[in-house]
Structure 1
Amino acid sequence: MSSPDSAASYARDLAQVERANATGRTPAVFVHGLWLLPTSWDRWAAVFEEAGFAPVTPGWPDDPETVEEAQAHPEVFAGKSVGQVADHFCDLIGKLERKPVVVGHSFGGLITQIVAGRELSRASVAIDPAPFRGVLPLPLSSLRAARPVLGNPANFHRAVPLTFEQFRYSFANAVSEEEARELYDTFAVPAPGEPLFQAAAANLNPWTEVKVDTTAEGRGPLLIISGEKDHTVPWAIANASYKKQLHNEHAVTEIVEMPGRGHALTIDHGWRDVADTALTFIRRFAR
């Protein structure tokens, strides 16, 4: 049975879907990753709305509305699997009257590719996307970034916050100490441990939920954006995902590297350059 908080979260998401449907515009669905909330997309949503899209920024199941609520009730994040989150977004997208464009960051970038593989998006942008089954590189920086979760098997069932020092390494290594502190205070929330364990075991588990249909005929155009200095999803992982997606013979697949950018590239001072890169790609295929 759903909790009152879960019901309220889903009602907020449905209200956004209804507003998007009422506009008659092409929806732009934004998918956040671990340690962030849907509000991390607020500035992006404004840019896409000005460009003529109808922005939709759903949460993961049970997401609180604010960082303050998230920090007061971290337990609501626990127990969310990749499959559960992907199904949640696919359910919401199925309620849209027009096929959307989808933009996701980190594990949201993985979810974006799952959605595309289910042929539910018109065009997709995956930003520093978490790896899926078949993506083999495992750089040391990624292992270090994941250590706060993977270092304790009990975290599989827990919600795990990052300390500032951990956030600084995994998200905000490419910005100043002052900006890193501001980003941490403004955006960082606890995150479920389960998706990281799922991703770590994906290549050992034939039945994993962390898989993408890269050859689906209706996948649509896909852009992968990589931050040059990203510790969490460095170029080796992003490029390996790109090479897997290149197996799709039915749609454009592209990759671009953003110079000097870390994993916080969707929320730090240079977010607009990344948003414009995504928007330029999407405009080529979705009016």
Structure 2
Amino acid sequence: MHTSSWDKLRSVFEAAGYKTLAPAWPYLEGNPAELRAHPDKRLGTLTFKKIVDHYASIIDGLDEQPVIVGHSMGGLITQLLLDRGYGVAGIAMDPGPIAGALPGPVSLLAALPPIFAGPGNSQTITREGFAKNFANTLNAADQQVAYDDYVVPTPTNIFYQAAGMFGTAVKVKARKQPLLVISAEHDRTVTPYLAKAIFNIQKKSPARTDFHQFADRSHFLAGEKGWEEVAHYALDWAHEVTAAPPIH
């Protein structure tokens, strides 16, 4: 998804006094329609390590450690950044699977198109796939608008890595930052089954680890009707955990 898909959630955090950043993945800056029409061939070189390195370098340039928020594969990247010691807290919304979390058949089927595209490539979800697996709680007109506004290509390598559990392991018991895993009831990409499997691994950390599922939402929960509830829940959680003393 294009970085502008975070605009709604960012507006809530900024209204509460937070400074927010939503930097794009490497090679995904620009207009979504142009990115879909002419995907950068370098997308095919991206791996989780390269993407995490990208965000780590951005955080290194900040004056203080942030609350890291990520969605889908970005939710997996959030967990990988926490594993490196970055961030004061993390919010993983409908996150991709860390090593050890089995996806189940529904999530596996949704991941097949980028896998079939082969490693070293990029792939853009079709309108049909977006309507079925990503924004399935929206009406047809809103699905079309969301697709046009936000959908961008994705590197296929990371789907191979996630499927093979390569480069996705985290040292759960070493994590000191609080983590919130958010799930959506009708998500067909990261089903509640998968989100709960991720939480069940992460809750072995000595740090605070929470789970919350939103009813009547799809994988597009941060942008669809009712997004305000999601944003305010995330904001309230972030405020609560960052006000608490850290684990040493």
Same fold (TM over 0.5): yes
Match of 2:182 among 225, 237, 254: 225
Equivalent runs, 1:1-287 vs 2, <5 Å: 36-76=1-41, 77-136=43-102, 138-152=103-117, 155-202=118-165, 208-218=166-176, 220-249=177-206, 251-286=207-242
In 2, Cα distance between the equivalents of 1:66 and 1:194? 23
The answer to whether the 8 A contact 2:27-2:40 is kept is: no
In 2, Cα distance between the equivalents of 1:231 and 1:139? 11
In 1, Cα distance between the equivalents of 2:32 and 2:224? 17
Give the TM-score normalised by structure 1: 0.81
Residue identity in the other structure for 2:178: P
The percent identity for this pair of structures is: 34
- Matched residue of 1:54: which SS? coil
Structure 2: state its 5+ residue gaps. Answer: 244-248
Q: Which is bigger in relative contact order (C-alpha 8 A, separation at least 6)?
A: 2
Q: CA deviation at 1:151?
A: 2.5
The answer to whether the 8 A contact 1:117-1:215 is kept is: no
The answer to whether the 8 A contact 2:114-2:122 is kept is: no
In 2, Cα distance between the equivalents of 1:213 and 1:45? 29
Q: CA deviation at 1:65?
A: 2.2
The answer to whether the 8 A contact 1:109-1:130 is kept is: yes
Residue identity in the other structure for 2:32: V
Q: CA deviation at 1:48?
A: 1.0
In 1, Cα distance between the equivalents of 2:225 and 2:212? 19
In 2, Cα distance between the equivalents of 1:67 and 1:227? 25
The answer to whether the 8 A contact 1:246-1:253 is kept is: yes
Q: CA deviation at 1:73?
A: 2.1
In 2, Cα distance between the equivalents of 1:193 and 1:268? 26
Q: CA deviation at 1:285?
A: 2.0
Give the TM-score normalised by structure 2: 0.93
Q: CA deviation at 1:69?
A: 2.8
The RMSD of aligned alpha carbons is: 1.4
Q: CA deviation at 1:75?
A: 2.7
- Matched residue of 1:263: which SS? coil
Q: CA deviation at 1:213?
A: 2.2
Q: Deviations over 1:163-201 (max 9, x none)?
A: 111111220112212211111111111111111111011
Matched length:
242
The answer to whether the 8 A contact 1:116-1:124 is kept is: yes
Q: CA deviation at 1:159?
A: 1.2
Residue identity in the other structure for 1:262: S
- Matched residue of 1:55: which SS? coil
